[in-house]
Structure 1
Amino acid sequence: MTKLRLAGLALLLVATAAGSWQARGWYEDSHRLTAERALRLAIDAAFARESEIAAGVEARLAELTANERVIDRGIIREIEKPLYRNVCLGDDAVRLLNDAATGRAPDPAEPAAALSGRAAGAD
């Protein structure tokens, strides 16, 4: 009977050790799971905050882009008015600008009277 009791005690000791080992594993796993869930919640909160900020920035950029397009169109319309093409600059200045736009360099030896005559004949 003593051997049977000793075997039962050994079996009980092994079962207790295995159960304790298993319980300790579950305990550590629950701590890891809690840490992972807390980390996931923090990451989700950060993404939500960043998404709100990004949405605000995108909305503001859309406003600025829309304003920029309207301003550009307005400037082009103003520049193309005949008043600015014909009145602000004299004939010589218009001819010099046209020559510069086409890549022709003015001749420095040419007198001013010849410039005026050439500009009148070009129109």
Structure 2
Amino acid sequence: MTARTLVMLAVLAIAAGTGWLSRGWFEDAQRLTALEAAQAAASQALARESVIAGVVEARLATLDTHQRVIDRGVIREIQKPIYRRVCLEPDAVRLLNDAAAGRAPDPADAADPLPDDAAAVE
């Protein structure tokens, strides 16, 4: 390679690096401008809402209370057999407890075995 080719490559690399760096600076400047605009808009909105809140507070301070509303809720308890295990037989409770514990039901404990024809396959 000749010296001229090396110089051209160096100039090209410097130009690419400088362009990349200046593009980064440009994008950072755009982001900073957008951020400053958003902050200015937020501070203007906050100042406007603070003035409105001050006016409302001043108006509320001049008002007198003419009536009071006292809310007393009514609590009703409904008792139904489903909530008291009246509907469930002891065997059903035992089966549910076995299922919750992960145990298989014991057919010897069943008080009411299946009828003879219930297990037949037709």
TM-score, normalised to structure 1's length?
Answer: 0.50
Query: How far is 1:6 from its partner?
Result: 0.8
Q: Percent identity?
A: 43
How big is each residue's C-alpha offset from its partner over 1:48-77, in whole Å with a ceiling of 9 and x where there is no partner? 00000001111111111xx33xx79xxxxx
Query: How far is 1:37 from its partner?
Result: 0.8
Greater relative contact order (CA < 8 Å, ≥ 6 in sequence): 1
Provide the alpha-carbon RMSD of the alignment.
1.6
Question: Partners of 2:10 and 2:54 in 1: how far apart?
Answer: 65
Question: Partners of 2:2 and 2:51 in 1: how far apart?
Answer: 73
Structure with the largest fraction of helix: 1
- Determine the structure 2 residue equivalent to 1:47: 46
SS of the residue corresponding to residue 48 of structure 1 reads helix
- Determine the structure 2 residue equivalent to 1:32: 31
Query: How far is 1:3 from its partner?
Result: 1.4
Query: How far is 1:41 from its partner?
Result: 0.7
Q: Which runs of 5+ in 2 are unaligned?
A: 68-122
- Counting matched residue pairs gives 67
TM-score, normalised to structure 2's length?
Answer: 0.51
Question: Looking at CA atoms only, which structure, 1 or 2, has the larger radius of gyration?
Answer: 1
- Please list, as runs of the form range in 1=range in 2, the aligned pairs for 1:105-116 lying within 5 A after superposition: none
Question: Partners of 2:4 and 2:62 in 1: how far apart?
Answer: 86
Q: After the TM superposition, which parts of structure 1 deviate over 3 Å for at least 4 consecutive aligned residues?
A: none
- Determine the structure 2 residue equivalent to 1:60: 59
Question: Partners of 2:21 and 2:62 in 1: how far apart?
Answer: 61
